Amino acid sequence: MNLSGLKFGGVFSGFKRRLSSISPVRDVIVYPLPEDSHVLRDYWVCEPYARVVVAEDVSGEVKYYVLEEPLTFLERGILDRVVSFIVRERDPPKGDVDKVKFVVSEAEALMSKYRRLRPPSEDSKRKILYYVARELAGFGVIHPLMLDPNIEDISCNGVGVPIYVYHRDFESLPTNIVFLDEDALDNFIIRLSHLAGKHVSSANPVVDATLPGKHRLAATFMREVSNFGSSFCIRKFRENPFSIVELISMGTVNEWIAAYLWLIVENKMSVMVLGGTGAGKTTMLNAILSLVRPELKLVTVEETAEINIPHENWVSFVSREELEFSGVKARSIRLFDLVKTSLRYRPDYLIVGEIRGEEAYVLFQALATGHGGMSTMHADSLDYAVKRLTSPPMNISKVYLPLMNVWLHIERMTDVKIGGHKSVRRVRSIWELNSDGEEVLVAEWVPEGFFNVNFEDSFILGRISRKTGFSMDELISEIDVRAKYLRNLLSRGVLSHRSVAEAVRNYYKSYVGGVHLLKVKPHGGG
């Protein structure tokens, strides 16, 4: 039985609060695919029980349809009784236990023990077990959305409105899933909160937490803070993040920019990734981190664990809100505290997932003492980033800003040249700050549809030249070599994050005195 798609399992303790029927009527409705729809995409997310269809209706609206294998009346009755029994009679598994295997094993044991719980056929049994796992170890009605690797986020704005998804290829789409009852949506928020290990109530109506699978949950409860009632948004965690080679294939960067960043991080220069919400800042940060030499020590500090890198010498810290144990409060652990603690780990690179407050001051102090540093920040340009950094609550003196050597701005934009109104992510500009705090533009995306690079004027490459003894021409030649190497990985289909990191390790095996054995002609744009 193929239930591998249900690996994002949580716990079913949330069902202790209220056991709901699995029936699609009354509380939640899943609309069928209209027969006259024009299908644009059709694929399985958990074969043969759940598939997705992206289709255009007669009005021209594109929608996202979840199509699950339906249950018969008999099968639904068996399912309800099995789920009810497991919830009431079994405690959730403790420790590092596969939740899917646990609930499926319990359900199979019940079906074998009680004649009235035996499905009419083996196919029927497997279908029921899919729904048991979906309800008790998964995310219920939105579980197929969570299984779809093409979905970036899932949002529900209230009762009577379709759940929306952001699809990598089709962008924002309404789904065929609609909550019809406020109590049902309230209870679903309680369920999601329990899965995240959080408490939600009228007294604490806002949730910001991490779901099983490292997906980020933001939710509001009832009408305490929203006129439309309960709501939620789930930012999905990509288990296999995009590699720098995949970003080259997608046009986010070109191979020369990627090679430049590779040389930068090899020499422990610091990088700040700027951009708006959903621009791809963390994706870019993950891709750059895969270029770090394997022997360097990395320490990451985040509010929600989103950094995912194939690096062994890596310590990951995550901040914590104030907790209460048996009436005794445990203090919150802020990013500021963790950034200070991380310096005692002697990192070669200190990475802060996103800076917004006083932790920025500690990060820049770390840069001043010789540590490499990386972070992301909400800003649409270098100018706005400087204004944010030099204002409360960050309060970074302008004289410290050049300690952050490279500033990369990534943006989600409409590229009419490749797909009409299709949205793509591009690195729009890369600046360096020289010792006087002056901007040096080293690369930019131009409207004609390509990247301009200007490494000859690079202040940071000049610093690397003075530190290593290699001339600027030799360093630029090395960028060309690495660009050729990355382009070769793309042509060979070496795309995954882990395989690209392994290729970076292999590259250093051909190193002699800091310069690679390969030689190519000086670079061009493109």
Residue 327 has pLDDT above 60, yes or no: no
- In a shared domain, residues 126 and 259: no
Q: Looking at the predicted structure, is the pLDDT value of residue 418 above 60?
A: no
Asked whether residue 87 falls in the same domain as residue 131, the answer is yes
Whether the CB-CB separation of 219 and 230 falls below 8 Å is answered with yes
The reported pLDDT for the residue numbered 221 is 96
Residue 524 lies in a domain: no
Residue-wise pLDDT for 379-407, tens only, equals: 999 999 999 999 999 999 999 999 999 99
Residue pair 130/47 in contact (Cβ under 8 Å)? The answer is no
| Residue finishing a domain among 190, 210, 235 | 235
Q: How many domains does the chain have?
A: 2
Per-residue pLDDT at 130: 96
What pLDDT score was predicted for residue 334?
Answer: 86
Q: Compute the average pLDDT of residues 419-430.
A: 80
With a cut of 90, say whether residue 472 has pLDDT above it.
Answer: yes
Tell me if 253 sits within 8 A of 430, measured CB to CB.
Answer: no
Indicate whether 274 and 226 sit together in one domain.
no
Q: What is the mean pLDDT of the chain?
A: 87
Distance CA 380, CA 384 (A): 7
Q: Which helix (H) or strand (E) holds 4?
A: none
User: What pLDDT score was predicted for residue 447?
Assistant: 82
Cα 455 to its chain centre, rounded Å, is 31
Whether residue 434 sits in one domain with residue 362: yes
Same domain, 350 and 205: no
Residue 238: pLDDT band by 50, 70, 90 thresholds?
Answer: confident
Other C-beta atoms lying within 10 Å of the C-beta of residue 455: 20
Residue 435 domain-assigned (yes or no): yes
pLDDT: which is higher, 184 or 237: 184
Examine the domain organization and report whether 327 and 226 are in the same domain: no
Task: Sort 196 into a burial class: Cβ within 10 Å, 0-12 / 13-18 / 19+.
Answer: buried
Residue 416 binned pLDDT confidence (cut-offs 50, 70, 90): low
**Looking at the predicted structure, is the pLDDT value of residue 8 above 60?**
no
Summarize the confidence of residues 45-73 as an average pLDDT.
95
| Greater pLDDT, 445 or 17 | 445
Q: What are phi and psi of 508, to 5 degrees?
A: -70, -15
Which of 176, 202, 235 is at the close of a domain? 235
Position 283 scores a pLDDT of: 93
521 located within any domain: no
Domain boundary among 235, 255, 272: 235
Q: What is the pLDDT of residue 511?
A: 60
Asked whether residue 526 is assigned to any structural domain, the reply reads no
Among 45-49, 250-254, 316-320, 386-390, the range scoring the smallest mean pLDDT is 316-320
DSSP one-letter string for 282-324: HHHHHHHHTTS-TTS-EEEEESS-------SSEEEEE-B--EE
Torsion angles phi and psi, residue 300, rounded to 5: -110, 145
- Which CATH number belongs to the domain containing residue 150 in this structure? 3.30.450.380
Q: Which residues pair with 349 in a beta bridge?
A: 298, 372
- Strand-pair partners of 314: 298
pLDDT given for residue 328 in this prediction: 52
User: Strand 298-302 vs strand 271-275: parallel, antiparallel, or unpaired?
Assistant: unpaired
Q: What are the φ and ψ backbone dihedral angles of 330, each rounded to 5 degrees?
A: -105, 135
In a domain, 407, yes or no: yes
> CB-based burial of residue 213 (10 Å sphere; 0-12 exposed, 13-18 middle, 19+ buried)?
middle
The reply to whether 164 and 42 lie within a common domain is yes
CATH number at residue 386: 3.40.50.300
Q: Is position 336 within any domain?
A: yes
DSSP-derived letter for residue 412 is: E
Please check the confidence at residue 61 and state whether its pLDDT lies above 90.
yes
Which token pair is 437?
A: 């705090």
Mean pLDDT across 88-113: 86
DSSP string, 163-174: EEEEETTTEEEE
177 and 259 in a single domain? The answer is no
Same domain, 199 and 253: no
User: What is the average per-residue pLDDT within 217-221?
Assistant: 95
Contact (CB, 8 A) for 180 and 31 = no
Contact between 357 and 253 (Cβ < 8 Å): no
Q: Do the Cβ atoms of 244 and 289 come closer than 8 Å?
A: no
From the DSSP assignment, how many helices (H) and strands (E) are in the chain? 15, 23
CA 389, CA 309: separation in Å to the nearest integer?
A: 27
Q: CB–CB of 349/373 below 8 Å? A: yes
**Residue 333, pLDDT above cutoff 90:** no
Three-state secondary structure string covering 51-101: EEEEEECCCCCEEEEEEECCCCHHHHHHHHHHHHHHHHHCCCCCCCCCHHH
Tell whether 255 and 229 lie within a shared domain: no
Cα 176 from Cα 227, distance rounded (Å): 23
- Those residues whose C-beta lies under 8 Å from the C-beta of residue 305, and which sit 6 or more positions away, are 210, 214, 237, 316, 318
Supply the range of the domain harboring residue 441.
Answer: 244-516
For range 66-91, the mean pLDDT? 92
pTM confidence score: 0.81
Would you say residue 129 lies in a domain?
yes
Other Cβ atoms less than 10 A from the Cβ of 120: the count is: 11
- Flag whether 51 is in a domain: yes
Tell me: do 130 and 193 sit in the same domain. Answer: yes
H-assigned helices in 347-471: 359-368, 382-389, 416-419, 459-468
Q: For residue 10, what pLDDT band results from cuts at 50, 70 and 90?
A: very low
Are residues 502 and 408 part of one domain? yes
